Amino acid sequence: YGDAFLTWSISESPSADWLSLDTTGGWLNPGDSASITITFDATGLNLGYYYDTLVVSSNDPNNPTINIPIQLTVYTGDKIFVYPSPGFPRSGSRVLTFANLPDEGKIYVYTLSGSLVWKHSFTNIDKYYSWNGKNQFGNDIASGVYFYHVENKSGDVLKKGKFAVVR
């Protein structure tokens, strides 16, 4: 709503290797707009949350500085799965396998009503964990549908899902 050129610059605070900008400044005629491409690169990052702030500075007397919070979440949750489902077919294996797990974390299994059936902490595994279908008291779980979630070592939920058991 002015009639002067807008000069602007954008920077990161603090600077993050996983974030890059295609431009860091420029000027605009009155009424014009600009697009900035922000690229996120999670290569080599551990699972978890990463934070940064983009600081936009300009000659706008009403808003000389605007801070824009940025969060990058690195996870592999869509690759985690349970097989077979339904589990425990009468003629097959008596285990359920949780596949593509992180190096360290926890698995939780719940009934449909939300009661905890079983939990397991794991470290230094080969991406798979086979569970014998016994609850936290050592008893076989009943036929039905169960919910599960997998957390990494920081407690971040990487995957929520469900599986069925047929006895």
Tens digits of residue pLDDT in 33-77: 999 999 999 888 887 778 899 999 999 999 999 999 998 877 655
| Per-residue model confidence (pLDDT) at position 54 | 94
* Complete DSSP assignment for the chain: --SS-EEEEEEESS--TTEEES--EEEE-TT------EEE--TTPPSEEEEEEEEEEES-SS-SEEEEEEEEEE--GGG-EEESSSB--TTS-S-EEEES--SEEEEEEE-TT--EEEEEEEES--SEEEE-SB-TTSPBPPSEEEEEEEEETT--EEEEEEEEE--
Whether residues 42 and 104 fall in one domain: no
Whether residues 67 and 84 fall in one domain: no
Whether 119 has a pLDDT exceeding 90, the answer reads yes
Residue 140 structural domain: 77-165
* Domains of the chain: total: 2
Q: Is the model's pTM score more than 0.85?
A: no
User: Which of 59, 74, 89 is the last residue before a domain boundary?
Assistant: 74
Whether residues 90 and 123 fall in one domain: yes
Tens digits of residue pLDDT in 9-36: 999 988 899 999 999 999 999 989 999 9
